A and B are shown apart, each in its own frame.
Chain A
Amino acid sequence: MTSNTDAIPITLDGIGKQYGDVTAVTDLDMAIQPGEFLVIVGPSGCGKSTTLRMIAGLEGITTGELRFDGAVMNDVEPKDRNVAMVFQNYALYPHMSVARNMSFGMKSAGDYTQEEIDQRVEDAAETLGISAYLDRKPNQLSGGERQRVAIGRALVRDPDVLLLDEPLSNLDAKLRVEMRSELAALHDKVQTTSVYVTHDQTEAMTLGDRVAVLNEGELQQIDPPQELYDRPTNKFVGEFIGSPQMDFFPVEVRTATAQPLVTGETGEATSFEIALSGAQTQQIESGRYTLGVRPEDLYPIEAFDHRPEEPITLDVDMTEPLGDVKLVYGMLAGQEVIVQVDPHYDVEKGERMELVADPDKLHLFDRQTGDCIYHSYDVTKEQVEQGSQS
């Protein structure tokens, strides 16, 4: 299988899907680059699968326009879109051999000679390392092998667009990691424009050239994985991307001083205070916000050289040693707070911890809209992209 030099762009222009009174997807704009691997991620029911199925043509599009390489696809039959899809449950025909499963679609299309079909099946099988199984039936294969066959079936037709609907969800954890890197390598090789749907943020981060985060049928953010992690556009993205998830603190911000000062609303007399820095601080107005800090950006006060104005105090409810790190759980102002500390850091349930947040890794969210109004992380998007390229 040679690399696909004529990969096409896909444009979603204000795409919406309505089932009766229920809105599944609202006004979705996405421009998928030729050869890009785009991952759509979100919680279940966020409309990610519906979006994928609209691209495939398995669902009708209520509003907006879908274009493949400039051509409007809204009313084009699925079979005429030249898309291939890999399903979560593999969707292999149980009574057909692997080779027949892979060639069945091509034979039905009738555009290929038998020689061509054999050659392509052979090539795809070799690429995916399933040549030895071509005569077997799907039920004689393991889950990982079945998924390889399903991917092979999608690739033999040399589709313009490869759609993957949670293809790794039925595999066990170890195999999932293996298949994940294989998928990434495969995409590097074939360079077909691909859209991958998953609810697993790790898969999204590791596989995607860019990741689109969807919630309740609306696009939250579409960016390269690192950008998504460093600069979530809103509280939802901050919470969804990253594991363990981001901690949130209700805070009040005062801008009277030279540096805006964040005060925690913890209901205690003495609460934490953090001074904000960076170029973006001019945009902040005084008021009440939600402060977001990732668990790995919170440190025990003695383990971090930066001294905050007032540290965050946390009563430890539970600790979880994971080997490489230790997670510390506690409640603050009615919200669970997770802190990721060194695995050898000595802390027990019932103890009180003093914490400091890395001042370069702070996010402020609007309480009403959830929109992010400030990242203390100062590196620009362009610099991030340059960094990831080098």
Chain B
Amino acid sequence: MASEQGQTTQRASQMIDTTAIKQRLRQQPGLHLTLIGSLVVLALPVIMTVLMSTQPSTQISSSTLAGIGSEGLSNYQEVLFEANFATYLVNSLIMALAIAVGKVGIALLAALALVYYDLPFKRLILLFILFTLALPVPVRIVPMYEIMVSLDWENSMLGLVVPYFASATSVLLLRQHFRSISDSMVESAKLDGVGPLKFLVYVLIPMSRSMIAGLFTIAFIWGWNQYLWPLIIINDQSKQVLQVGLAQLNPTAGEALWGLIMAGAVITLLIPMVLMLALREPLLDTVSMQTK
């Protein structure tokens, strides 16, 4: 019943919102025109990509772009089934999900330890974790590859995702969030005999829901967009991911088949877009917290 009530109030507030937006539009037309203008500029490449993905490849390079083309279906069919994108899609999905879950999971445990446990040299540990930010993937790609080879994880999903499980940014953000939760919560739990893991599951995670959703989205998209590491660690076409497959659509010799490439790009865009639309509210919360 409470949720029903919540939905009605939400609907009501949305209705109020539209009138409020109209009012604001009238009050600050300049600001809103600028915003709409920049929105068009930002969306244009995406719209172009969608349009181009429906054109026959030859037409794109020869003529100006005009509306939806005739080869929409065939372009997508070819990319999905002949260029192996269906497989890449599944692989990318598994990879991005694993990276996001791993990142958030480890960050939760690390932040729990950093905030609620009496560790010696806590600040030093945090500093050390933050220091890893100074070593992005390209810098450590060779030693990372060597480790994967020695673990025999080369050309496997494990080798693809495990190196990305630790995330200094997620740890830091969750730590800051946990620190904003009143100490008396954990003290009350201590007096009640609630153990640390129970506290994490029943108190911290529910209280950090939007933060976790935001971090998950960021980690997912970040994982989804990996290119260099999959290119190096995966040799097998059946284990490859979308971003690498997309690059492979561009032939090394001869004319680029732009219709196909654009169809591949649209497929690559699809899942992150759905995720962002679904989780836009917690994502915005997290981003605004980051900039605070």
- B188 contact from A80, A81, A85, A94, Cβ within 8 A: A85
Q: Which residues of chain B are near A81, meaning CB under 8 Å?
A: 191
- Evaluate whether A94 and B194 lie within 8 angstroms (CB atoms) in the complex, with A85-B187, A87-B184, A135-B2 already known: no
Q: Mark B176-188, 1 if CB is under 8 A from A, else 0.
A: 0000001011011
| Top 9 A-B pairs, shortest CB-CB distance | A105-B192, A79-B193, A91-B184, A87-B184, A95-B206, A108-B194, A91-B188, A78-B190, A109-B193
Q: Are B185 and A91 in contact (CB under 8 A)?
A: yes
Q: How close is B207's CB to chain A, nearest CB, in angstroms?
A: 6
Q: Which residues of chain B are near A84, meaning CB under 8 Å?
A: 191
A217–B237 Cα distance when bound, in Å, is: 72
Please tell me if A124 contacts chain B, counting CB pairs below 8 Å: no
Q: Are B187 and A104 in contact (CB under 8 A)?
A: no
A314–B187 Cα distance when bound, in Å, is: 52
21 contacts between A and B (CB under 8 A): A56-B191, A57-B191, A58-B187, A78-B190, A79-B190, A81-B191, A84-B191, A85-B188, A87-B184, A87-B187, A87-B188, A89-B184, A93-B185, A93-B207, A95-B206, A104-B202, A105-B191, A105-B192, A106-B192, A153-B188, A157-B192
A29–B189 Cα distance when bound, in Å, is: 29
Please, how many residues of chain B have a CB less than 8 angstroms from a CB on the other chain? 19
Besides A93-B206, A108-B193, 17 other CB < 8 A contacts? A58-B190, A80-B193, A83-B191, A87-B184, A87-B188, A88-B184, A91-B184, A91-B187, A93-B203, A95-B209, A96-B206, A104-B202, A105-B192, A106-B192, A108-B189, A108-B195, A157-B192
A91–B192 Cα distance when bound, in Å, is: 13
Measured CB to CB, the nearest residue on chain A to B207 is A95
Please tell me if B11 contacts chain A, counting CB pairs below 8 Å: no
Q: How close is B154's CB to chain A, nearest CB, in angstroms?
A: 44
A336–B169 Cα distance when bound, in Å, is: 57
Measured CB to CB, the nearest residue on chain B to A97 is B2
Measured CB to CB, the nearest residue on chain B to A53 is B187
Please tell me if B32 contacts chain A, counting CB pairs below 8 Å: no
Please tell me if B24 contacts chain A, counting CB pairs below 8 Å: no
Q: Which residues of chain B are near A106, meaning CB under 8 Å?
A: 192
Interface residues of B in 61-116 (CB under 8 A from A): none
Measured CB to CB, the nearest residue on chain B to A101 is B188
Residues in chain A within 8 A of chain B (CB atoms): 56-58, 78-81, 83-85, 87-89, 91, 93-96, 104-106, 108-109, 135, 153, 157
Residues in chain B within 8 A of chain A (CB atoms): 2, 182, 184-185, 187-195, 198, 202-203, 206-207, 209
Q: Are B2 and A104 in contact (CB under 8 A)?
A: no
- Evaluate whether A89 and B182 lie within 8 angstroms (CB atoms) in the complex, with A79-B191, A94-B207, A109-B192 already known: yes
A105–B191 Cα distance when bound, in Å, is: 8
Q: Which residues of chain B are near A57, meaning CB under 8 Å?
A: 190-191
A84–B209 Cα distance when bound, in Å, is: 28
Q: How close is B170's CB to chain A, nearest CB, in angstroms?
A: 21
A157–B194 Cα distance when bound, in Å, is: 14
Measured CB to CB, the nearest residue on chain A to B182 is A89
A91–B188 Cα distance when bound, in Å, is: 7
Q: Which residues of chain A are near B185, meaning CB under 8 Å?
A: 91, 93
Q: Which residues of chain B are near A95, meaning CB under 8 Å?
A: 206-207, 209
Q: Are A105 and B203 in contact (CB under 8 A)?
A: no
Q: Which residues of chain A are near B192, meaning CB under 8 Å?
A: 79, 104-106, 108-109, 157
A58–B207 Cα distance when bound, in Å, is: 23
Determine which residue in B184, B190, B203, B206 has the highest number of CB atoms from chain A within 10 A of its CB, and name it: B184
Q: How close is B118's CB to chain A, nearest CB, in angstroms?
A: 11
Q: Are A91 and B182 in contact (CB under 8 A)?
A: yes
Measured CB to CB, the nearest residue on chain A to B191 is A78
A89–B191 Cα distance when bound, in Å, is: 16
Q: Which residues of chain B are near A85, meaning CB under 8 Å?
A: 187-188, 191
A88–B187 Cα distance when bound, in Å, is: 12
A364–B256 Cα distance when bound, in Å, is: 101
Q: Which residues of chain B are near A104, meaning CB under 8 Å?
A: 192, 194, 202
A130–B191 Cα distance when bound, in Å, is: 23
Q: Which residues of chain A are near B193, meaning CB under 8 Å?
A: 79-80, 105, 108-109
